[in-house]
A and B are shown apart, each in its own frame.
Chain A
């Protein structure tokens, strides 16, 4: 199975900051990676697919990138609405797997 190692598990940042969350894939997954935002008590929301493609309606402050087996989600100009848990997900092969999640809080 492909392991997705997500870091950090939690982080705190200030309004207006730029933050980066990373997922390391245990083997090649190409660009078959997506990112989700989850608010407390809510279902996940797709933010990025294909490693770098912004889902419709998602602010352009969000971006995804890839460097080898490292995948990153970057949020610029952090706002209070960006608080939540972020999950990465590989869909390169079955079994589909997720990272452990990153809890983002604003100071």
Chain B
């Protein structure tokens, strides 16, 4: 059974940093692109980042480019999201999601971890 378990969320002040983790199991992690998708309270879904199988290629929307960094450790079947210079508009539930190839749907999602950016 595919499982994605996020951790690392919490309350953080504007301008500070936070690192999210996602532990994957139930599939060969190194064979899949992985992504982060977020959802602000009572809002729609917003794609945040995608990383290739080896980690050599990463993709971001303009809203987080230069502030967020996605990475992975295939030996640990783990995905990460380093978030720097956080803003109030980054407040959201962050989901880890399994993609497929370069451009693909999200077949599996974690339960999400809430990040609140507030002073």
Same complex origin of A and B: yes
Residues of A within 8 A of B (CB): 1, 32, 34, 36, 42-46, 49-50, 55, 87, 89, 91-101
Assuming A44-B45, A99-B44, what are 17 further A-B pairs, CB within 8 angstroms?
Answer: A34-B106, A36-B45, A43-B111, A89-B105, A91-B104, A91-B105, A92-B103, A94-B59, A94-B103, A95-B59, A95-B61, A96-B35, A97-B47, A98-B45, A98-B47, A101-B44, A101-B45
Residues of B within 8 A of A (CB): 35, 44-47, 50, 59-62, 95, 103-112
A91 proximity list for chain B (CB < 8 A): 103-105
Cβ-defined contact, A46 with B107, below 8 A: yes
B109 proximity list for chain A (CB < 8 A): 43-45
A46 proximity list for chain B (CB < 8 A): 105-108
B108 proximity list for chain A (CB < 8 A): 46
**Nearest A-chain residue to B104, judged by Cβ:** A91
A101 proximity list for chain B (CB < 8 A): 44-45
How many Å lie between the Cα of A98 and that of B111 in the bound state? 19
